[in-house]
Amino acid sequence: MPSRAKRGSTSRIVVTGAAGFLGSHLVDRLLAGGHRVIGIDDLSTGRRSNLRDARNDPRFRLLRADLSTLSAIPSAGRYYHLASPASPSAYQRDPIGTLRVNSVGTYCVLESARKADARVLLASTSEVYGDPSVHPQDEKYWGNVNPIGPRSCYDEGKRFAEALGMAYRRRYGLDVRIARIFNTYGPRMAADDGRVVSNFIVQGLRGEAFTLYGKGNQTRSFCYVSDLVEGLERMMEAPGDVPTPINLGNPREFTVRQTAEMVAREIGIRPTFRHEPLPEDDPKQRSPVIQRARQYLGWSPRVPFEEGLRETVQYFRTVRASRRSPK
Ligand code: UDP
Protein backbone atom coordinates (compact mmCIF):
# COMPACT_ATOMS: atom_id res chain seq x y z
CA MET A 1 0.00 0.00 0.00
CA PRO A 2 1.31 3.48 -0.85
CA SER A 3 2.54 5.30 2.23
CA ARG A 4 5.42 7.54 1.23
CA ALA A 5 5.27 11.29 1.85
CA LYS A 6 4.38 13.18 -1.27
CA ARG A 7 7.08 15.48 -2.68
CA GLY A 8 5.29 16.77 -5.77
CA SER A 9 3.66 20.17 -5.45
CA THR A 10 -0.03 19.54 -4.79
CA SER A 11 -0.88 23.05 -5.96
CA ARG A 12 -0.08 22.12 -9.57
CA ILE A 13 -2.43 19.64 -11.17
CA VAL A 14 -2.26 17.95 -14.55
CA VAL A 15 -5.51 16.89 -16.21
CA THR A 16 -5.15 14.74 -19.32
CA GLY A 17 -8.15 14.85 -21.62
CA ALA A 18 -8.80 18.37 -20.35
CA ALA A 19 -10.81 19.46 -23.39
CA GLY A 20 -13.22 16.54 -23.15
CA PHE A 21 -16.64 16.45 -21.56
CA LEU A 22 -15.55 15.27 -18.11
CA GLY A 23 -12.05 16.79 -18.29
CA SER A 24 -13.30 20.31 -18.92
CA HIS A 25 -15.80 20.18 -16.06
CA LEU A 26 -13.06 18.88 -13.79
CA VAL A 27 -10.71 21.69 -14.87
CA ASP A 28 -13.41 24.28 -14.05
CA ARG A 29 -13.96 22.74 -10.66
CA LEU A 30 -10.24 22.67 -9.82
CA LEU A 31 -9.75 26.27 -10.93
CA ALA A 32 -12.73 27.32 -8.81
CA GLY A 33 -10.97 25.61 -5.89
CA GLY A 34 -7.93 27.86 -6.37
CA HIS A 35 -5.58 25.36 -8.05
CA ARG A 36 -3.17 25.83 -10.92
CA VAL A 37 -4.07 23.42 -13.70
CA ILE A 38 -2.23 22.23 -16.77
CA GLY A 39 -4.52 20.55 -19.27
CA ILE A 40 -3.20 18.14 -21.88
CA ASP A 41 -5.31 17.19 -24.87
CA ASP A 42 -4.65 16.17 -28.46
CA LEU A 43 -8.09 17.55 -29.39
CA SER A 44 -8.98 14.31 -31.18
CA THR A 45 -12.34 14.10 -29.43
CA GLY A 46 -12.08 17.06 -27.02
CA ARG A 47 -12.96 20.62 -28.06
CA ARG A 48 -11.28 23.91 -27.25
CA SER A 49 -14.71 25.49 -26.79
CA ASN A 50 -15.23 23.32 -23.69
CA LEU A 51 -12.41 25.32 -22.07
CA ARG A 52 -13.75 28.76 -22.97
CA ASP A 53 -13.92 29.87 -19.32
CA ALA A 54 -10.76 28.08 -18.22
CA ARG A 55 -8.64 29.64 -20.93
CA ASN A 56 -9.40 33.12 -19.57
CA ASP A 57 -7.95 32.06 -16.23
CA PRO A 58 -4.22 32.82 -15.82
CA ARG A 59 -3.84 29.73 -13.61
CA PHE A 60 -4.74 27.47 -16.54
CA ARG A 61 -2.57 26.32 -19.42
CA LEU A 62 -3.54 23.97 -22.24
CA LEU A 63 -0.88 21.81 -23.89
CA ARG A 64 -1.87 20.28 -27.20
CA ALA A 65 -0.02 16.99 -27.18
CA ASP A 66 -0.58 13.29 -27.27
CA LEU A 67 0.62 11.28 -24.32
CA SER A 68 2.93 8.87 -26.04
CA THR A 69 6.13 10.61 -24.97
CA LEU A 70 7.17 11.36 -21.44
CA SER A 71 8.48 14.79 -22.41
CA ALA A 72 4.87 15.85 -23.18
CA ILE A 73 3.96 15.62 -19.51
CA PRO A 74 5.01 18.33 -17.02
CA SER A 75 5.85 17.70 -13.38
CA ALA A 76 2.98 18.14 -10.94
CA GLY A 77 1.66 16.95 -7.61
CA ARG A 78 -1.54 15.47 -8.91
CA TYR A 79 -2.33 13.71 -12.20
CA TYR A 80 -5.89 13.12 -13.32
CA HIS A 81 -5.64 10.79 -16.33
CA LEU A 82 -8.87 11.14 -18.31
CA ALA A 83 -7.52 11.15 -21.86
CA SER A 84 -9.26 8.58 -24.07
CA PRO A 85 -12.10 8.46 -26.53
CA ALA A 86 -15.03 7.37 -24.37
CA SER A 87 -18.20 6.95 -26.39
CA PRO A 88 -18.70 3.69 -28.31
CA SER A 89 -18.83 5.54 -31.64
CA ALA A 90 -15.63 7.51 -30.88
CA TYR A 91 -13.54 4.60 -29.66
CA GLN A 92 -14.70 2.30 -32.43
CA ARG A 93 -13.69 4.97 -34.98
CA ASP A 94 -10.15 4.92 -33.59
CA PRO A 95 -9.57 1.56 -31.88
CA ILE A 96 -5.78 1.68 -32.16
CA GLY A 97 -5.55 5.25 -30.84
CA THR A 98 -7.83 4.17 -27.97
CA LEU A 99 -5.59 1.23 -27.08
CA ARG A 100 -2.52 3.43 -27.43
CA VAL A 101 -3.62 6.22 -25.10
CA ASN A 102 -4.79 3.73 -22.48
CA SER A 103 -1.57 1.72 -22.64
CA VAL A 104 1.37 3.91 -23.72
CA GLY A 105 -0.40 7.08 -22.53
CA THR A 106 -1.14 5.59 -19.11
CA TYR A 107 2.44 4.36 -18.87
CA CYS A 108 3.77 7.87 -19.56
CA VAL A 109 1.43 9.43 -16.99
CA LEU A 110 2.39 6.86 -14.34
CA GLU A 111 6.11 7.30 -15.05
CA SER A 112 5.78 11.09 -14.81
CA ALA A 113 3.94 10.71 -11.52
CA ARG A 114 6.55 8.31 -10.20
CA LYS A 115 9.33 10.80 -10.99
CA ALA A 116 7.40 13.63 -9.32
CA ASP A 117 6.30 11.36 -6.45
CA ALA A 118 2.79 12.51 -7.18
CA ARG A 119 -0.67 11.08 -6.74
CA VAL A 120 -2.59 9.71 -9.74
CA LEU A 121 -6.25 9.24 -10.43
CA LEU A 122 -6.95 6.93 -13.35
CA ALA A 123 -10.32 7.36 -15.02
CA SER A 124 -11.50 3.82 -15.62
CA THR A 125 -14.97 2.76 -16.62
CA SER A 126 -17.95 0.54 -15.94
CA GLU A 127 -17.01 -1.04 -19.29
CA VAL A 128 -14.42 -3.12 -17.43
CA TYR A 129 -17.46 -5.13 -16.29
CA GLY A 130 -18.37 -5.76 -19.95
CA ASP A 131 -21.85 -7.27 -20.40
CA PRO A 132 -22.16 -8.07 -16.70
CA SER A 133 -23.50 -11.35 -15.42
CA VAL A 134 -23.68 -9.85 -11.90
CA HIS A 135 -26.12 -7.05 -11.24
CA PRO A 136 -25.71 -4.41 -9.90
CA GLN A 137 -21.93 -4.24 -10.23
CA ASP A 138 -19.64 -3.85 -7.26
CA GLU A 139 -15.87 -3.44 -7.44
CA LYS A 140 -15.17 -7.08 -6.58
CA TYR A 141 -16.82 -8.29 -9.78
CA TRP A 142 -14.22 -9.20 -12.44
CA GLY A 143 -16.43 -8.59 -15.40
CA ASN A 144 -17.54 -10.32 -18.57
CA VAL A 145 -15.61 -8.75 -21.43
CA ASN A 146 -15.25 -10.01 -24.99
CA PRO A 147 -11.51 -9.47 -25.55
CA ILE A 148 -11.79 -9.49 -29.36
CA GLY A 149 -15.12 -7.74 -29.94
CA PRO A 150 -15.70 -4.22 -31.28
CA ARG A 151 -15.76 -2.71 -27.76
CA SER A 152 -12.58 -4.46 -26.67
CA CYS A 153 -10.29 -1.55 -27.65
CA TYR A 154 -11.90 0.47 -24.89
CA ASP A 155 -12.78 -2.26 -22.38
CA GLU A 156 -9.41 -4.00 -22.59
CA GLY A 157 -7.56 -0.68 -22.89
CA LYS A 158 -9.06 0.40 -19.57
CA ARG A 159 -8.47 -3.01 -18.01
CA PHE A 160 -4.83 -2.76 -19.06
CA ALA A 161 -4.64 0.76 -17.58
CA GLU A 162 -6.04 -0.58 -14.29
CA ALA A 163 -3.54 -3.44 -14.29
CA LEU A 164 -0.67 -1.03 -14.95
CA GLY A 165 -1.83 1.32 -12.22
CA MET A 166 -1.99 -1.55 -9.75
CA ALA A 167 1.50 -2.68 -10.81
CA TYR A 168 2.85 0.81 -10.04
CA ARG A 169 1.15 0.72 -6.65
CA ARG A 170 2.66 -2.65 -5.79
CA ARG A 171 6.08 -2.13 -7.33
CA TYR A 172 6.78 1.50 -6.41
CA GLY A 173 4.19 2.33 -3.75
CA LEU A 174 2.83 5.00 -6.07
CA ASP A 175 -0.46 6.42 -4.84
CA VAL A 176 -2.69 5.40 -7.76
CA ARG A 177 -6.45 5.66 -7.35
CA ILE A 178 -8.83 4.15 -9.87
CA ALA A 179 -12.30 5.55 -10.50
CA ARG A 180 -14.67 3.28 -12.40
CA ILE A 181 -16.93 5.82 -14.02
CA PHE A 182 -20.46 4.83 -15.05
CA ASN A 183 -22.54 6.62 -17.69
CA THR A 184 -22.38 10.37 -17.19
CA TYR A 185 -24.30 13.14 -18.93
CA GLY A 186 -24.64 16.89 -18.90
CA PRO A 187 -23.76 20.10 -20.74
CA ARG A 188 -20.78 19.88 -23.14
CA MET A 189 -21.59 16.39 -24.35
CA ALA A 190 -20.88 16.50 -28.06
CA ALA A 191 -24.05 16.48 -30.17
CA ASP A 192 -22.51 13.85 -32.46
CA ASP A 193 -21.09 11.73 -29.65
CA GLY A 194 -23.56 8.92 -30.30
CA ARG A 195 -24.44 8.63 -26.61
CA VAL A 196 -27.98 7.73 -25.74
CA VAL A 197 -28.79 10.87 -23.74
CA SER A 198 -27.24 13.31 -26.24
CA ASN A 199 -28.68 11.44 -29.23
CA PHE A 200 -32.21 11.48 -27.81
CA ILE A 201 -32.03 15.15 -26.85
CA VAL A 202 -30.68 16.22 -30.24
CA GLN A 203 -33.23 14.04 -32.08
CA GLY A 204 -36.07 15.32 -29.88
CA LEU A 205 -35.14 18.97 -30.44
CA ARG A 206 -35.01 18.38 -34.21
CA GLY A 207 -38.43 16.73 -34.14
CA GLU A 208 -36.95 13.41 -35.29
CA ALA A 209 -37.73 9.90 -34.08
CA PHE A 210 -35.49 8.45 -31.37
CA THR A 211 -33.08 5.78 -32.59
CA LEU A 212 -33.84 2.82 -30.34
CA TYR A 213 -31.25 0.06 -30.52
CA GLY A 214 -32.78 -3.36 -29.94
CA LYS A 215 -35.99 -3.41 -27.92
CA GLY A 216 -34.80 -0.64 -25.62
CA ASN A 217 -35.12 -2.83 -22.53
CA GLN A 218 -31.37 -2.75 -21.83
CA THR A 219 -30.63 -0.61 -18.77
CA ARG A 220 -28.22 2.15 -17.83
CA SER A 221 -27.90 4.52 -14.88
CA PHE A 222 -26.95 8.13 -15.50
CA CYS A 223 -24.86 10.39 -13.29
CA TYR A 224 -24.95 14.16 -13.72
CA VAL A 225 -21.57 15.62 -14.55
CA SER A 226 -21.27 17.96 -11.52
CA ASP A 227 -21.80 14.99 -9.18
CA LEU A 228 -19.25 12.95 -11.08
CA VAL A 229 -16.43 15.50 -11.03
CA GLU A 230 -17.05 16.11 -7.34
CA GLY A 231 -16.55 12.37 -6.85
CA LEU A 232 -13.28 12.49 -8.80
CA GLU A 233 -11.89 15.29 -6.65
CA ARG A 234 -13.01 13.60 -3.44
CA MET A 235 -11.30 10.42 -4.52
CA MET A 236 -8.08 12.23 -5.37
CA GLU A 237 -8.02 14.18 -2.10
CA ALA A 238 -9.28 11.51 0.31
CA PRO A 239 -6.62 11.31 3.03
CA GLY A 240 -4.70 8.12 3.73
CA ASP A 241 -5.17 4.88 1.87
CA VAL A 242 -8.53 4.45 0.25
CA PRO A 243 -9.47 1.16 -1.37
CA THR A 244 -9.13 1.09 -5.12
CA PRO A 245 -10.93 0.85 -7.49
CA ILE A 246 -14.07 2.76 -6.52
CA ASN A 247 -17.25 2.94 -8.62
CA LEU A 248 -18.60 6.41 -9.34
CA GLY A 249 -22.07 6.59 -10.82
CA ASN A 250 -25.73 7.01 -10.06
CA PRO A 251 -27.43 3.73 -9.08
CA ARG A 252 -30.88 4.82 -10.28
CA GLU A 253 -31.51 2.57 -13.26
CA PHE A 254 -33.63 3.12 -16.37
CA THR A 255 -34.33 1.12 -19.48
CA VAL A 256 -33.29 2.89 -22.66
CA ARG A 257 -36.96 3.19 -23.59
CA GLN A 258 -37.74 4.86 -20.25
CA THR A 259 -34.83 7.20 -20.89
CA ALA A 260 -36.40 8.18 -24.23
CA GLU A 261 -39.72 8.84 -22.52
CA MET A 262 -38.09 11.06 -19.91
CA VAL A 263 -36.21 13.05 -22.53
CA ALA A 264 -39.43 13.44 -24.54
CA ARG A 265 -41.29 14.68 -21.45
CA GLU A 266 -38.58 17.24 -20.72
CA ILE A 267 -38.63 18.54 -24.30
CA GLY A 268 -42.43 18.48 -24.38
CA ILE A 269 -42.99 16.03 -27.26
CA ARG A 270 -44.51 12.60 -27.78
CA PRO A 271 -41.75 10.06 -28.39
CA THR A 272 -41.64 8.19 -31.67
CA PHE A 273 -39.04 5.52 -32.42
CA ARG A 274 -36.87 4.35 -35.27
CA HIS A 275 -35.75 0.82 -34.51
CA GLU A 276 -32.17 -0.17 -35.18
CA PRO A 277 -30.30 -3.39 -34.34
CA LEU A 278 -28.69 -3.77 -30.96
CA PRO A 279 -24.93 -3.19 -31.39
CA GLU A 280 -22.67 -6.23 -30.90
CA ASP A 281 -21.71 -6.80 -27.23
CA ASP A 282 -24.01 -4.01 -26.02
CA PRO A 283 -24.32 -4.56 -22.23
CA LYS A 284 -27.85 -5.62 -21.26
CA GLN A 285 -27.82 -4.04 -17.83
CA ARG A 286 -25.65 -1.68 -15.87
CA SER A 287 -25.91 -0.04 -12.46
CA PRO A 288 -23.21 0.65 -9.88
CA VAL A 289 -22.99 -0.39 -6.27
CA ILE A 290 -21.59 2.76 -4.65
CA GLN A 291 -21.12 1.57 -1.09
CA ARG A 292 -17.35 2.14 -1.28
CA ALA A 293 -17.77 5.71 -2.52
CA ARG A 294 -20.27 6.43 0.23
CA GLN A 295 -18.11 4.93 2.96
CA TYR A 296 -14.64 6.11 1.96
CA LEU A 297 -15.36 9.34 0.10
CA GLY A 298 -18.60 10.43 1.77
CA TRP A 299 -19.91 10.74 -1.80
CA SER A 300 -23.18 9.95 -3.44
CA PRO A 301 -24.88 11.64 -6.39
CA ARG A 302 -27.29 14.47 -5.55
CA VAL A 303 -28.74 15.63 -8.86
CA PRO A 304 -31.92 13.75 -9.84
CA PHE A 305 -32.13 12.64 -13.48
CA GLU A 306 -35.11 14.94 -14.13
CA GLU A 307 -33.11 17.97 -12.95
CA GLY A 308 -29.91 17.06 -14.81
CA LEU A 309 -31.94 16.42 -17.97
CA ARG A 310 -33.47 19.90 -17.70
CA GLU A 311 -29.98 21.44 -17.61
CA THR A 312 -28.74 19.27 -20.45
CA VAL A 313 -31.74 19.96 -22.69
CA GLN A 314 -31.29 23.67 -21.96
CA TYR A 315 -27.63 23.41 -22.98
CA PHE A 316 -28.47 21.75 -26.31
CA ARG A 317 -31.22 24.32 -26.97
CA THR A 318 -28.69 27.12 -26.43
CA VAL A 319 -26.11 25.46 -28.68
CA ARG A 320 -28.70 25.07 -31.46
CA ALA A 321 -29.91 28.66 -31.08
CA SER A 322 -26.39 30.06 -31.25
CA ARG A 323 -25.72 28.02 -34.42
CA ARG A 324 -28.82 29.43 -36.07
CA SER A 325 -28.23 33.07 -35.10
CA PRO A 326 -26.25 35.22 -37.55
CA LYS A 327 -22.60 35.76 -36.65
N1 UDP B 1 -28.66 3.55 -27.48
C2 UDP B 1 -29.85 3.64 -28.20
N3 UDP B 1 -30.00 4.65 -29.11
C4 UDP B 1 -29.03 5.58 -29.33
C5 UDP B 1 -27.81 5.48 -28.61
C6 UDP B 1 -27.66 4.45 -27.69
O7 UDP B 1 -30.78 2.83 -28.02
O8 UDP B 1 -29.24 6.47 -30.17
C9 UDP B 1 -28.50 2.49 -26.46
C10 UDP B 1 -27.24 1.64 -26.61
O11 UDP B 1 -27.47 0.52 -27.43
C12 UDP B 1 -26.96 1.26 -25.17
C13 UDP B 1 -27.46 2.44 -24.36
O14 UDP B 1 -28.35 3.14 -25.22
O15 UDP B 1 -27.69 0.12 -24.81
C16 UDP B 1 -26.35 3.36 -23.89
O17 UDP B 1 -25.54 3.67 -24.98
P18 UDP B 1 -24.36 4.74 -24.88
O19 UDP B 1 -23.70 4.75 -26.22
O20 UDP B 1 -24.87 6.04 -24.39
O21 UDP B 1 -23.36 4.22 -23.78
P22 UDP B 1 -22.79 2.79 -23.34
O23 UDP B 1 -23.30 2.61 -21.96
O24 UDP B 1 -23.28 1.73 -24.27
O25 UDP B 1 -21.32 2.95 -23.39
Per DSSP, 53 falls in state: T
Closest to 273 (Cα-Cα) out of 199, 219, 223, 189: 199
Query: Which of 75, 161, 171, 162 lies closest to 118 in space, CA to CA?
Result: 75
In the predicted structure, residue 21 carries a pLDDT above the cut 60: yes
Among protein residues, the one whose CA lies closest to atom 12 of ligand 1 = 282
Please identify which of the residues 79, 80, 91, 154 carries the catalytic annotation.
154
User: Rounded to the nearest whole angstrom, what is the distance from the C-alpha of residue 168 to the centroid of ligand 1?
Assistant: 34
Is 154 known to be catalytic?
yes
Q: What secondary structure does DSSP assign to 188-225, as a single string?
A: T--TTS--HHHHHHHHHHTTPPEEEETTS--EEE-EEH
pLDDT at residue 204 greater than cutoff 90: yes
Beta-carbon count within 10 A of 103 CB: 16
pLDDT tens digit string along 132-143? 999 999 999 999
The highest-level CATH class for domain 12-186+224-250+288-302 is: alpha beta
How far apart CA 321 and CA 315 sit, in angstroms, is: 10
Secondary structure E strands in the chain = 12-16, 36-41, 60-64, 78-81, 119-125, 175-181, 184-185, 210-213, 219-221, 223-224, 246-248, 253-255, 273-276
Rounded average pLDDT over 114-135: 97
Q: Whose CA is nearest to atom 23 of ligand 1?
A: 183
Please say if the pLDDT value at position 4 is more than 50. no
Q: pLDDT tens digit string along 78-112?
A: 999 999 999 999 999 999 999 999 999 999 999 99
Closest ligand 1 atom to the C-alpha of 199? Answer: 8
| Alpha-carbon distance values, 316 to 51, 188, 311, 320 (Å) | 17, 9, 9, 6
Confidence of residue 323 (pLDDT cuts 50, 70, 90): confident
Q: Domain-by-domain residue ranges, the chain?
A: 12-186+224-250+288-302
Picking from 82, 53, 77, 36, the residue whose alpha carbon sits closest to that of residue 248 is 82
Ligand 1 pocket list (CB less than 6 A): 87-88, 183, 194-196, 199, 211-213, 216, 218, 220, 256, 279, 282
CB 15 within 8 A of CB 26: yes
Give me ligand 1 centre to Cα 49, in Å.
25
Contact, 97 vs 56, CB < 8 A? Answer: no
Q: Give the Å distance between the CA of 94 and the centre of ligand 1.
A: 18
Confidence of residue 69 (pLDDT cuts 50, 70, 90): confident
The percentage of the chain sitting over the pLDDT mark of 90, rounded to a whole number, equals: 92
pLDDT digits (tens, 9 = 90+) for 241-262: 899 999 999 999 999 999 999 9
CA of 281 to the centre of ligand 1 (A): 11
Q: What is the mean pLDDT of residues 191-213?
A: 96
CA–CA dist 251, 287 (Å, integer): 5
With contact defined as beta carbons under 8 Å apart, do 90 and 42 qualify?
no
Q: Which of 84, 89, 152, 213 to mutate to test the pocket of ligand 1 (most atoms within 8 A of CB)?
A: 213
Bridge partners of 219, per DSSP, are 255
